[in-house]
Amino acid sequence: MQRALLSSLIRPRVHLLTLVGALTSFGITAWAQSDLPALMKEGKNWPMAARDYANTRFSALDQINTSNVHDLHLAWSFSVGPSRGQEAAPLVVEGVIYVVAPYDGPHPNQVFALDAVTGELKWSYAPKPNPAAKGVACCDVVSRGLAYDNGKIFLATLDTHAVGLDARTGKELWVTKLGEINLGETVTMAPVVVKGKVLIGNSGGEMGVRGWLTALDENTGKTVARVFDGTGFRSADRRRFQSTLRLDERAGPRRQNMALGTMETRGRNGLGLDII
């Protein structure tokens, strides 16, 4: 059980660490200057699902407080359609709200852009995901949200497609297929954009699907790197993978925690894990 817990904790770091090496090996060192850091500094914006790279999910705005919260009232409302599986955090960028609907309903994973003040619909985009994806999803047909960078909105659909949209018009810029639902792969996560690369990972580990993390060029949708985790390996491969973590389960929880902490420190400071 300790081995499984540690593997689950370490897996995201292995993903990210290997991806940095992959990006470097591909010679990917130049990108358009992202406007995300500047947007994150302004409290009026919520430019990514977790608001910032630290995943704080916290707003520093103080106009609404304990002394006036009782005066709040409904200004406007907008229905995204289906009520099942609404887990997406809306994005707010310079007065525009971007939100994606769940998979259920007549237009699965539909994206809406709304005026934050009036609720007026600016545009909507309805992808056409494969209906068979609904029967493959391991943990309900949900979407955790969208991503934004440099005037573009990024969407991951349940049937493992990534989509780039013009944030001003909703025009489809590119579509990239990432996986195979016939293998049990689906995607429910909100993409994350880092230095011109859209990062998306798959779901399906509960079904024995091998996990992967893919980096796409945000301007073209071209896949520039993909790394895999240790799940879905054959037994021999999995043992070799776990041995590379240098965690001795006989050493006890304290020694394992120390090893995990060392891995975190090396990842942040010694092995180039500075993509943010």
pLDDT digit string (tens) for 65-77?
Answer: 999 999 999 999 9
Torsion of CA 84, 70, 74, 57, to 10 degrees: -50
What CA dihedral angle connects 13, 222, 32 and 58, to 10 degrees?
-40
Domain regions of the chain by residue span = 11-51+80-244
Amino acid 32: pLDDT: 61
What mean pLDDT is predicted for residues 132-148? 83
**CATH architecture observed for domain 11-51+80-244:** Beta Barrel (2.40)
Between vectors from CA 18 to CA 14 and to CA 19, what angle results, nearest 5°? 115
pLDDT mean across residues, the chain: 77
% of the chain exceeding 70 in pLDDT: 71
The whole-number pLDDT of residue 15 equals: 42
For residue 247, give both structure tokens.
């965690």
User: Per mean pLDDT, which range of 74-78, 84-88, 271-275 is the poorest?
Assistant: 271-275
